[in-house]
Structure 1
Amino acid sequence: MKAEAWIFGITAAFLVVVTPAYWFITGDWTGTSALTMTTLLAGMMTLYLGFHAAKMDPRPEDRQDAEIADGAGELGFFPPYSWWPLWCALTLGVIVYATALGAWWMFIIGAALGAIALSGWIFEYYRGEHAH
């Protein structure tokens, strides 16, 4: 995790330099606000990863004396393909479109279909081909 903390730290340092330069050059408050929030987010991630890297045992990729075999084994669970994120995104699109138009009937239809799609995505590993 030390490598990740360094990456975010370098990014935060870069943004500390770029944010005031952007404001002096453009005078744009919107972009300056976005860069300020990005700087704070990168700094927060640096602190989080730095504190946790100090408390954790080093991973194989963090050690200089590590061998390739040290990283062998199960890496985690990787889900197979799923159509549910597509349906969730489409129903969210319907909801946003309905809100923009002010069509509350379309919003209700999108919310109902969105609840079905979200339930399908959450419970997809309890039934069907990929049930556990």
Structure 2
Amino acid sequence: MRANVYFFWFISAYAFLADVVYTIWNLFFAGTTNGGGGGRVEPIGTVCLLLTAVMALFIGFYVNRSRLGQGGVLPEDRPDASIDDGDPELGFFSPYSWWPILLAASAALGFLGFVIGIWVAFIGGAIAIVALVGWVYEYYRGFFAR
């Protein structure tokens, strides 16, 4: 993760430097057709480059704090690490559940309702409630009950 921190800090420094150069260029060289000074700052590009620098700085700060909070060397930073070293346990996923498919179909009906007519979205919402309840309580009834 150390390389990621340096990468985002580099992007932040580059975007800030590009912002300074862009602003100076607009103040002194751009804006007129006869080569004279422009005298004004172009606000859109200046603000966008500054926000790019700030966002890269935020991400670099967050990644650095996460790296320091880990307390050890991550598998990504070790040259002798294998792929399985960085493979965490993500949790339990139901292997034979049909409820996610029904929930996706209800979301599709909901979005389709905004295009065709709002009444279709209400049908999708009702199906979504049934699918959510079925998915949450899947292991409390039937074959998988515990």
What interval of TM-score do these two structures reach, taking the shorter chain for normalisation?
Answer: 0.5 to 0.7
Match of 1:51 among 35, 55, 65: 65
Structure 1 residues 69 and 112 mapped into 2: Cα distance closer, same or farther (>3 Å)?
closer
- Pair 1:68-2:82 in alignment: yes
Shift of 1:52: 2.1
Q: State the partner residue of 1:30.
A: 44
**Stretches of 4+ aligned residues off by more than 6 angstroms:** 82-92, 109-124
How many residues get paired? 120
Give the whole-Å Cα distance in 2 for the aligned partners of 1:59 and 1:123: 39
- Unmatched segments (≥5 aa) in structure 2: 32-40, 94-99, 139-146
Rg larger for:
2
Sequence identity (%): 18
Structure 1 residues 111 and 90 mapped into 2: Cα distance closer, same or farther (>3 Å)?
closer
* TM-score between both structures, scaled by the size of structure 2: 0.51
Q: What is the root-mean-square deviation in Å for CA atoms of aligned residues?
A: 4.4
Paired letter, 1:53: R
Shift of 1:85: 7.7
Give the whole-Å Cα distance in 2 for the aligned partners of 1:113 and 1:28: 49
Shift of 1:90: 9.6
Residue by residue over 1:41-75, the C-alpha shift from the partner in whole angstroms, topping out at 9 and shown as x without a partner, is: 111111221122123122111123x3316526446
